[in-house]
Amino acid sequence: MKHKKIASILAIAVLSLATPFFSMPRAHAFDDNTAVGITGTQRYSDPFFGFSTVTSARDGSVVTFNVLLQASSVATPNTGQRNVTVGVKFDWMTSWTNASNANPSSTLAVMPNQDVTVSVSVTLPSLTGTTAGYNLVLHSWQVLIASGALNSVNACPSHTGLQGCVFESGGSFAIYSGDQLDGMDARRAAEEKFQYLSTISGFAIGPGFAKLAADLSQAQAERDLGNTAYAAGNFGQARTHYQNALNLANSAASALSGGDAATYTNVLLGGIGSFLLGVGI
C-alpha cells in the first residue's frame, strides 16, 4: 500500500510539471485520486478584482481541462472495469461539454489500478451581445467524473459525493478582453524589469544612472496610473499606461549603455569590487 501511495504521488508530480493543477488528489469510492489542470490560461494579480490572483484567458479562446484519474484496485462487479465519462461546465453553461473519448455515447474503459488522462476543451464566449459583460465578473467551473453503465449517461444530481461520481470545482476564473490581456502582459513585463533595475540603480555609479533613475521612477508612476484606471474598469486607458511603463523601463535599461561601454563596465565592476572589499569578502 505504501508503494502504491508513493507511485500515485509521483504520477501527479510528474504531470504537474506540464500542467498547473488546481485540485488536490483525494480519496473516493471509485477512484484513488483525481487532479484537474487547465491549459491556455494565464495567472495575474488583477486590480479590478481587488488585486486577487485570477486564472484568465482571452474571450473567444480555447481552454483545455486535463483530468488525471488514478483508479483504485477495487473492480466493479462482473466486468472489472469502470465506464467513465468526463465533462466540464462553466457557470454560464447550461449543459456539460464532454471529452471526445469519455462521453455518454462512448464511455472510457478504465481498469483497476490504471492511470489515465482525459482532456476536455471549451471555447470561451466572446464579449459581445448578451455576454458582453462577462469580463466584469469572476466565473467558476466544475468537472464531473462519472462511472456507470457502458455508453450511457451517468447522472450525478448533486455534489454530495454519490457513489460513482466525483465533482472537482474551481473559481476566480476571468475572461479578458484584448485590452485587459495586453495590459496585464505589459504590466508583468514592466514589473519584471523594475525588480532588477531597482537593484542596479542602488549602486548609483557610472554613466547613465541618472537617466535610469528618472525613467524608472516615471515608469513606476505610469504603472500606478494603469492600476488605477484598470481598477475603475477603464481597460483601454490602463493598457496605454502599462505600455508606457514598459517603454520607460526599457528606456531605463538602455540608459546603462550610454557612454563608453568598457568604461561603464569597469566602473560598475570596480564599484562592486570596492563594496565587497569594504564588507570583508
Annotated domain spans of the chain: 2-176, 179-278
E-state strands within 47-93: 52-58, 62-71, 82-90
The residue written with cell numbers 473492480 in the block is 75
Mean pLDDT lowest among 72-76, 227-231, 242-246:
72-76
Q: What percent of the chain has pLDDT over 90?
A: 49
Confidence of residue 131 (pLDDT cuts 50, 70, 90): very high
**Summary mean pLDDT of the chain:** 78
For residue 96, CA distances in Å to 157, 199, 218 come to 13, 50, 49
| Residue 71 CB coordination number (10 Å) | 22
- The Cα–Cα gap between 60 and 77 comes to 44
Phi, psi (deg, nearest 5) at residue 242: -65, -40
Residue 67's CB is within 10 A of a number of other CB atoms, namely 25
What whole-number percentage of the chain has pLDDT above 70?
Answer: 70
Whole-angstrom distance, CA of residue 156 vs CA of residue 168: 13
2-176: which CATH architecture? Sandwich (2.60)
